[in-house]
Amino acid sequence: MDGIIPVVEKKDFLRWFLKEFTLKKRECSWLLNYLMSDDDLMENVHFVEEAERCPKALIMSTNDVHTVPFCFHKYQQVTMDAEKAFHDIRMNPEEAIYIQLHFSGAKHNPNYIAVLEDNPYVPENEDLIAKQKKLAEAFLERSVQSFEEKELLRRIDEALDARDKETFLTFSQQLQHLRQHSD
C-alpha cells in the first residue's frame, strides 16, 4: 500500500473492476471510463481508504454493499451528483483525485490492494505518536545525562591531575548527585 502505482496498473484494475462489479450509479462507470481514457488524468488518480479526508475524492459503491452509491468531496463541499464531479475533473485535470471503492471483499481483494496507496491525509495513530514522543524524550534525557556524566568524569580527572582536592570533591558530589537522580 505504498509508492507510486503505474498508470497501466490502475487502468488494468479499473477494467477488471468494471467487468466484475456493477456500480449502484451507472454514471460512476462513465466517470471511471472517462478517467481511463486520459493517461494524464490517471497519473493523478490514487486509490485510498478514508477518501473523504482528501481534498478531492470520489467514493463509489457497487450493488453488493450497503453504502452510499456515490459521493464527491471537494474540500468542504460534498455532492451526490456525478455530473458535478465529472465537470470538476474535466475543468481541473491537474488536481489529484482520490478514489475509494466500496465493494464486497474490498479489504481482502488482491486486485484492489495492489493499487491501494497510503492516504496522505489520514493522521497517524495518535497513541503511536505519543509513545514515540515519550521514547524520544527518554532517549534525549539519557543522552544528556550521559554527556553530563562524561563531562564530570573529565573534570574529576583534571582535578586529580592538578591535585586540586576542593574541585575534585565538588565534581565528585555533582557526579554522585547526577547518578542518584538518574535511577
Element (H, E) at 93: none
* Count of all residues that appear for the chain in the document: 183
Give the model's pLDDT for residue 127: 63
* Grid cell at residue 178: 547526577
Q: Summarize pLDDT for 26-73 with one digit per residue, the tens.
A: 999 999 999 999 999 999 999 999 999 999 999 999 999 999 999 999
**Which residue's C-alpha cell is 482528501?**
54
Q: For the domain covering 7-115, report its CATH number.
A: 3.40.1530.30
Domain boundaries, the chain: 7-115, 126-182
Beta partners for residue 46, in sequence order: 98
Beta partners for residue 153, in sequence order: none
Least confident of 2-6, 18-22, 66-70, 165-169: 2-6
Distance CA 85, CA 58 (A): 8
The answer to whether 81 and 72 have CB atoms below 8 angstroms apart is: yes
**Which residue's C-alpha cell is 495518535?**
126
Q: Summarize pLDDT for 117-152 with one digit per residue, the tens.
A: 999 888 776 666 667 778 888 888 888 888 899 999
Going by DSSP bridges, is the β-strand pair 97-102/56-61 parallel, antiparallel, or unpaired? Answer: parallel
The model's pTM:
0.67
